[in-house]
Amino acid sequence: MIVVFKPDATQDQVNQVAELVTGMGLRVHFNKGTERQIMGAVGDDRKLQSANWQSWAGVEQVIPILAPYKLVSRDFQKHDSSIDVRGEKIGAKDKMQVIAGPCSVENVEQMMHLSDVVKTEGLGFLRGGAYKPRTSPYAFQGLESEGLDILMEAKKKTGLRIVTELMDPRDIPLFEGRADVIQIGARNMQNFRLLKEVGQLKTPVLLKRGLANTMKELLMAAEYIAAGGNLNIILCERGIRTFEPDTRNTFDVSAIPVLKEKTHLPVIADPSHAGGRWDLVEPLALAAVAAGADGLIVEIHHQPEKALCDGDQALKPKKFTKLMEKIRAVAKIVGRDA
Ligand code: PEP
Ligand code: MN
């Protein structure tokens, strides 16, 4: 349910209503609009539905949120959220963000080289997986905590914000205060225990759409994180599994405008995993920007043929620089910098 306060409601009145509602066993989340304050009340809301809220001082209306996802829905918040990551915003109206880096952290030299490429391009975010969700248990699983240490070295050297995947809640202490954005990968999109754990943090979460999940399921997964109190969530369309074998996944470009209609959260796209081929990264990236994506996450590698993971889809630095030129041109057409 949403409790809409009158424009002249006092803070005392707001606090009193919050106390009443939490007394009904609900969790409250505030959203300060330009004109009035809104309070989301989530949980079993039967008591609130039958309450005589008309008599509550300061309250204008109590309305149900019809979507099954509440806090992440447009009903709860009309304006776009932009997520502040150490001073750079993901979801800002006038700027889209490009996150780039290798699929996996492989060694110090690789990360120093690629973080320089990202920095030189004028970007603010570096990606790199230390814990890798691999289909085969015999494939490279990532450098794990050593990989995180290497990412911290790259961060120290370049100041770039680190985006890296968390697969297991037991590793949270290693990520906290170090990863600037915690990625929840496609395979873990419905790992509800993991979602609940990152919901307890303040660190922004990049939540990727599952291989075969609907947009509604993605939004419900985001709601798990939000319900814990962490509304710093960025959604990512990364391609879905279809009957088409010529591409690794099928890039669902329509997910960008459709998600943005349903949620206030920023939506970015991953053209690397969507196509699974380096030659498709450019057309898919440009399509995403044109469709209104708030950002991109792109895999790059200076020696793709030697990459320990996802070499087929990695762009070499020179190609990446060329891609950035085109991204900037298309972004300009849709009114954004990149
Ligand atoms: C990745 O970002 O390297 C990754 C494994 O992505 P996804 O979870 O989308 O497959
Ligand atoms: Mn990858």
CA 186 – ligand 1 centroid, Å: 6
- Residue 125 CA to ligand 1 centre (angstroms): 16
Question: Is the CB of residue 166 below 6 angstroms from any atom belonging to ligand 1?
Answer: no
pLDDT digits (tens, 9 = 90+) for 152-179: 999 999 999 999 999 999 999 999 999 9
Supply the pTM of this predicted model: 0.96
- 3-state SS of the chain? CEEEECCCCCHHHHHHHHHHHHHCCCEEEEEECCCCEEEEEECCCHHHHCCCHHHCCCEEEEECCCCCCCCCECCCCCCCCCEEECCEEECCCCECEEEEECCECCCHHHHHHHHHHHHHCCCCEEECECCCCCCCCCCCCCCCHHHHHHHHHHHHHHCCEEEEECCCHHHHHHHCCCCCEEEECHHHCCCHHHHHHHHCCCCCEEEECCCCCCHHHHHHHHHHHHHCCCCCEEEEECCECCCCCCCCCECCCCHHHHHHHHECCCEEECHHHHHCCHHHHHHHHHHHHHCCCCEEEEEECCCHHHCCCCHHHCECHHHHHHHHHHHHHHHHHCCCEC
- Residue with the nearest Cα to atom 1 of ligand 1? 103
Does ligand 1 lie within 6 Å of residue 186's CB atom?
yes
What digits encode the pLDDT tens for the residues 48-73? 999 999 999 999 999 999 899 999 99
Domains of the chain are 2-63 (3.30.70.1140), 83-333 (3.20.20.70)
Mean pLDDT of the 250-255 span: 98
